[in-house]
Amino acid sequence: MFTRKITIEKNSLLIAYKLLHDLLLLMLVSFAGFLVIEGLLPGLLTSKISFSKIVIGIIIILASIVYLGKNFNITYQQAKIHTSKMLSGLVLFSFLLIGNSMLKFNFWENLVITLATLLILFLFYELIFSSKNK
Amino acid sequence: MLDLTKEIQLEPIFRKKYIIARILLHVIFFIVAFFVLYNILFAVVTLDFSFENPILNKNTNLNPHISTGRELPKDGKFLANETLLDNASPIGEFSKASVTFSSTENNSAVENISVTINKSYQALRYPTGSPLGFKNGSLLTTPDGSYYMVSDGALRKFSNTDTIVKLGYPKSAFLEISKDDLKYNRIGNEINDTLSYPNDTIFAIGDTYFQLKDGRLFPFISVQAFLTQFDQTIAIAKSKDFFQTNPVAEKFIGFADGTLASYDVSVYILSKGKSYPIMNPETFLAMGFKWEDIIPINQNELGAYEKQKQFTHNDPHPDGTIFFDEKNEKYFLIENGKKLPITNQSIIKTYSKQKPVIINTEGLEKFSSCTLKKKLFNDGTFTCDIPLEDLNNFIGNDYQIKTTFPNATKLSTFSIKFSTPMTWNSMRNSLSKIKTKIINRQTL
């Protein structure tokens, strides 16, 4: 009976672990959608929902996933971000969001900001990935 | 279905439970998303006030007051035949206002009483003042060949045309009016001194315009500011020697009161030496302003004004705002808590450089109402719904709620909830407004 109780508890926690992943995906997709809507119409959503609460919620879910994962000794292979299929999508999404916020600047200001940003991103990329490749 | 944790395999019984829980999670998520969408597309604004705690932060209803001017009773005790007024300025188009009172004493005083609501702008509710006269500095001429200048609010007649010529007033600057138009300004002394100028005379010295007051020349902050008040033709050209007899004052004259000005990405209302940054585009449009009426200004021009807190949709139009009732073709100027009618076409011409806000005074006379009924299972709470569709045609963002208590009563709380019904029409209206906001934002 005791063993059965442990099995039920372990499986319940595993279910919770899997559900947390589903919830995380829903929250991240929602957050991305909110960013797009806020980019197009500032104030439309932030007047109804607090973004900080969504971010805190995502952090709590991540912390719970990490905690449960450690309990079950679940490990993941380190993701190769630079070869990930999602990277190009994420980069495009970031550029669209940032680009939308830069519409107010004139051409030369945009050019300077873009070049500076690309340079900084390139330096970060070299810093993070070149040390791993060595 | 997408499984993010494929490597974690559950036993069949628990797998079934996981699938059910997953479906439930998605259902709850979509319910929450629907709720958020509902709040966006079918706006609901609730304004609450506690008579027992009038300064509580939670009070979102900021403006209940008594019509006689008596201070709002801290204990919520109203006298017999006392009228409670409230002004609410929610942004959006609503179809219904639900009014709720909770009473702790003499509940019968609240039941079956009528609550009325009308819609207009707050400033339009100001008491009507005396009709406005011609603007200071105006040069006028009547068919009988008389010439006048408005100085310090008074109409001063030039004793003869020689005086006009010797002083240098440009004849082309005199506005032709009828004798009858003169009655709106009080009569002042005749102008017969050819060696000194009356107050409010306009001068052009170099590239700067000045207005004379008590022997000192007050410069306009810029040519642009001058042109919002006067035409260039009205100015008497002088050389810099003129400063010897009339020193320059340190204070600048700015734009006409009520001017909409933009600097950087912000829009300001300039009035009485103060600048009020407008909170957001929704507030701008809700107050009846037009984008094409905005004048871009520079940092120097803005710096001449004392920056105030943000102008929100709860604030009345500031001094200097001109309203124009298109239907009745009437103009009003807002000044010192009063609306001053501008009854004369000639007088309107002297204010023509200021762009009016279009209004509909019918809104002040058209009311919707309901009768307070006891809420089910709640003895001390009385509520009713006032339909607002009939008022939506009237211009304005301010709803005034009014109710008179026939007998003395003690109120605890008061709330108004503005809502939109969940109909296809409302949804289409909301989506259309969202589309317009996106287009406005991209084109600004």
Cα distance between residue B46 and residue B64, in whole Å: 14
Is pLDDT above 90 for A118?
A: no
Query: Under 8 Å CB-to-CB from B277, ≥6 apart: which residues?
Result: B266, B267, B268, B307, B308, B310, B311
When divided into structural domains, chain B yields a total of 4
Comparing A83-92, B148-157, B293-302, B383-392, the range with the smallest average pLDDT is A83-92
User: Is A119 or A40 the better-scoring residue by pLDDT?
Assistant: A119
Asked if the model's pLDDT at residue B156 lies above 70, the reply is yes
- Mean pLDDT over A1-21 rounds to 75
Tens of pLDDT, residue by residue over A94-109, are 777 777 777 777 788 8
pLDDT, residue B223, reads: 95
| pLDDT classification of A19: cutoffs 50, 70, 90 | very high
Rounded to whole angstroms, the Cα distance separating B251 from A106 reads: 36
Structure tokens at A98: 């940032």
Whether residue B37 is found in the same domain as residue B98: no
Q: What is the mean pLDDT of residues B124-130?
A: 93
B132, part of any domain: no
- Taking the C-alpha atoms of residue B220 and residue B392, their distance in angstroms, rounded to an integer, is 42
Interchain CB distance below 8 Å, A14 and B442: no
Task: Decide if B61 is inside a domain.
Answer: yes
The model carries a pTM of: 0.75
DSSP 8-state code for residue B53: S
Tell whether B393 and B313 lie within a shared domain.
no
pLDDT above 90: percentage of residues in chain B: 57
Q: How many CB pairs under 8 A join A and B?
A: 59
Q: Which residue of B has its CA nearest to A45?
A: B40
Residue of A6, A10, A11 to mutate, testing the B interface (most B Cβ within 10 Å of its Cβ): A11
State which residue of chain A sits closest to B264, comparing Cα positions: A104
At B288-300, the pLDDT tens digits run 999 999 999 999 9
For residue B20, being part of any structural domain is answered with: yes
DSSP-derived letter for residue B422 is -
Sheet holding B398-405, edge to edge: B65-66, B82-88, B398-405, B114-120, B368-371
Q: Which residues pair with B331 in a beta bridge?
A: B324, B342
Name the minimum distance, in Å, from the CA of B24 to any CA of chain A: 10
| d(C-alpha B108, C-alpha B397), whole Å | 33
- B251 within a domain of the structure (yes/no): no
pLDDT above 80 (res B355) = yes
pLDDT at A7 over 80: no
Q: What is the pLDDT of residues A73-91, one digit of tens each?
A: 776 666 665 566 677 777 7
Q: Looking at the structure, do residues B291 and B215 belong to the same domain, yes or no?
A: no
**ipTM more than 0.85?**
no
Claim to verify: residue B322 and residue B408 sit in the same structural domain:
no
**Closest chain A C-alpha to B60 CA, distance in angstroms:** 15
Confidence label for B337 from pLDDT (cuts 50, 70 and 90)? very high
For residue B297, being part of any structural domain is answered with yes
Q: Among A11, A23, A41, whose Cβ lies nearest the Cβ of B10? A: A11
What does the mean pLDDT of chain A come to?
Answer: 79
Task: Tell me the pLDDT of chain B averaged across its residues.
Answer: 89
Return the H-helix or E-strand segment holding B141: strand B139-141
Query: Is B34 within a domain?
Result: yes
Same domain, B316 and B398: no
pLDDT of amino acid B133: 92
Same domain, B302 and B335: yes
Query: What pLDDT is stored for residue B14 in this prediction?
Result: 84
Shared domain for B92 and B76, answered yes or no, is yes
Q: Does A74 touch chain B if contact means CB atoms closer than 8 Å?
A: yes
Q: Return the pLDDT at A125.
A: 81
Residues of B with CB under 8 A from a CB of A: 2-5, 8, 10-11, 14, 17-18, 21-22, 25-26, 29, 33, 36, 39-40, 265, 280, 282, 434, 437-438, 441-442
- Asked if B323 and B276 sit in the same domain, the reply is yes
Least confident of A47-51, B160-164, B252-256: A47-51
Q: What is the pLDDT of residues B394-409, one digit of tens each?
A: 888 899 999 998 888 8
Q: What does the alpha-carbon distance between residue A21 and residue B28 come to, in Å, rounded to a whole number?
A: 16
| Residue B27: domain span | 1-41
Q: Do residues B181 and B240 share a domain?
A: yes
Instruction: Report strand pairing: B175-176 vs B139-141.
Output: parallel
- Residue B440 is assigned to a structural domain of this protein: no
Same-domain check for residues B269 and B328: yes
Quick one: pLDDT band at residue A1, thresholds 50, 70, 90?
very low
B182 inside domain: yes
Distance from CA of B10 to the nearest CA of A (A): 7
Please indicate whether, in this complex, the C-beta atoms of A48 and B40 are within 8 angstroms of each other.
Answer: yes
B344 and B286 within one domain: yes
Residues from chain A contacting residue B11 (CB–CB below 8 Å)? 11
In a 3-state reduction of DSSP, which class is residue A50? coil
- What is the pLDDT at residue B339? 94
What per-residue confidence (pLDDT) applies to B265?
A: 87
Residues of A in contact with B442 (CB under 8 A): 103
Quickly tell me which residue has 């709330």 as its tokens: B415
Provide, rounded to the nearest whole percent, the portion of chain B with pLDDT above 70. Answer: 98
Residues 105-134 of A with CB under 8 A from B: none
Q: Closest partner residue to B8 among A17, A22, A43, by Cβ?
A: A17
pLDDT of residue A51: 85
- Residues of A whose CB is below 8 A from B282: 43
Test B10 with A17 for CB contact under 8 angstroms. no
Residues in contact with B67: Cβ distance below 8 Å, sequence separation at least 6, in sequence order: B82, B83, B84, B85, B402
Is the confidence at residue B8, as pLDDT, over 90?
Answer: no
pLDDT reading at B346 higher than 90:
no
Residues B270 and B327 placed together within one structural domain of the fold:
yes
